Chains A and B, each alone.
Chain A
């Protein structure tokens, strides 16, 4: 009997095996199912009603709202910034490196592109350049908006009214519908008003007035004091595409996000006008106000070693946009998801930065140049090194720092959310998670030619499973 017991499978053992096998088969089926992919990847497949009266998204427990942002701010030190001093738009870059050097770098960048095209360098081929060019087909931006929508006055009805919660909910729904990934609101006070530029990239002053309506002249844009609610919204970039950085193919996803931002801005300005309110937008890309700062204050994300916004949902794979309105909105609080803390030990972006432009130090109050706005404690970057390296070694916008960031994940694997939760709850593990990120091969530059064989969703965006 004993001999038989050792060689034959008992009924109990058989049932155990069936149970284990069943669990395995079920798990494989769920994970591999074609249904699981859209369910995990696309928030629209999880249509549900807002549970919050102001339409705030249901975020995981580890995204905590806080009274003070994780970036320390000294509001007394903060001044309204002149965006002409930035290195991307306006004369700032030429002033920092000299006119001749700026011209020389422009020529070097153009020669790099031409050479890479003629040599069929991956990510720089004619089809890559053509795709990049397609993102240049932009619609105009303006401070006041298209002003075409029929107003309540023209309809002969009173303007829309509701509580700040109701207003926040419908504005959030409209912005999301028009293409925004996440939306948050900040009420301007004597402090947050300092995050509005003093001078726009085109040189026009931004002036607050007691006027009832906004206006614009050749010298200035006038913002009525009653327009004191800032709508802050993000637009996703394609993580899969930007992971090909630094190439023309990768950088065009940035241009695409800006193009989509323009569409959202124009549409939303018309939406607000249709309700009977003003929507004062960016007169050009990144105009009006400091995007990452408002992103932080609106609780959309935290500052990072990139000196850009990192969101819990999409990591750094977003662009941030702003719009002022006089429609009273329920505001949002900053968040603490452990992102800023993680950046202190990670440094992956700084190590990968070809231009050695990113900081390896802890956050500091000391700015690196006129392109940084003093008054907050941050990982300040050397923007002139960044722009110079982009010209000499990429011929285009770089984006390596976005691509290698451990928060830049598609969130299909459960482990990513568990790591994010652990990062928030137990920062002592941050160094270990950074090592594991390397070991698993995340952040390695992907094949540019392979991209043209991928069947990606619209806009190449396949992230955001946790929303």
Chain B
């Protein structure tokens, strides 16, 4: 007697890729803002941008880590 297994493969929805693209764009833009603000000698703008960059990076990483097995 043979056993039957069903493997279900779920494709990510298109909007999820759009959201990841937006995330990537935001990360790059904020990184540029952080580096350029330092070049503009605007320390507060640079600090806020660096913090935002790392928060966004870690948040994206966490979401990716949690969803990667699905």
Closest-by-CB residue of B relative to A412 is B36
1/0 contact trace for A1-44 toward B, CB 8 Å?
00001100000010000001001100110111000010010000
Question: Contacts A27-B31, A441-B43 known; A413 to B69 CB distance under 8 Å?
Answer: no
Interchain Cβ contacts within 8 Å, total number = 57
Min CB–CB distance B21 → chain A (angstroms) = 11
Closest-by-CB residue of B relative to A462 is B40
Interface status of A139 (Cβ within 8 A of chain B): no
What residues of A have a CB within 8 angstroms of the CB of B28 in the complex? Answer: 23-24, 27
Interface status of B66 (Cβ within 8 A of chain A): no
What residues of A have a CB within 8 angstroms of the CB of B31 in the complex? Answer: 24, 27-28, 31
What residues of B have a CB within 8 angstroms of the CB of A126 in the complex? Answer: none
In angstroms, Cα B36 to Cα A454, docked, is 16
In angstroms, Cα B35 to Cα A24, docked, is 13
A440 and B42 form a contact (CB under 8 A): yes
A413 and B37 form a contact (CB under 8 A): yes
Question: Contacts A23-B24, A24-B27 known; A440 to B44 CB distance under 8 Å?
Answer: yes
What residues of A have a CB within 8 angstroms of the CB of B33 in the complex? Answer: 413-415
Contact of B39 among A23, A412, A415, A454 (CB under 8 A): A412
Interface status of A66 (Cβ within 8 A of chain B): no
In angstroms, Cα B43 to Cα A439, docked, is 12
What residues of A have a CB within 8 angstroms of the CB of B27 in the complex? Answer: 24
B44 and A414 form a contact (CB under 8 A): no
In angstroms, Cα B29 to Cα A236, docked, is 28
Count class of interface residues, chain A: 20 to 34
Closest-by-CB residue of A relative to B31 is A27
With a 10 A CB-CB cut-off, give which of A6, A240, A413, A442 has the most chain B CB atoms: A413
Interface status of B68 (Cβ within 8 A of chain A): yes
A240 and B44 form a contact (CB under 8 A): no
B41 and A413 form a contact (CB under 8 A): no
1/0 contact trace for B28-70 toward A, CB 8 Å?
1101110111011111110010000000000000000000110
B35 and A440 form a contact (CB under 8 A): no
A440 and B45 form a contact (CB under 8 A): yes
B42 and A441 form a contact (CB under 8 A): yes
Interface, chain A (partner B; CB < 8 A): 5-6, 13, 20, 23-24, 27-28, 30-32, 37, 40, 240, 409-410, 412-415, 439-442, 444, 446, 454
Interface, chain B (partner A; CB < 8 A): 24, 27-29, 31-33, 35-37, 39-45, 48, 68-69
Task: Offer 25 A-B interface pairs, CB within 8 angstroms, sorted by A.
Answer: A5-B69, A20-B24, A23-B28, A24-B31, A27-B31, A27-B32, A28-B35, A30-B32, A31-B35, A40-B36, A410-B39, A412-B36, A412-B37, A413-B40, A413-B45, A414-B32, A414-B33, A414-B36, A415-B33, A439-B48, A441-B42, A441-B43, A441-B48, A442-B42, A446-B41
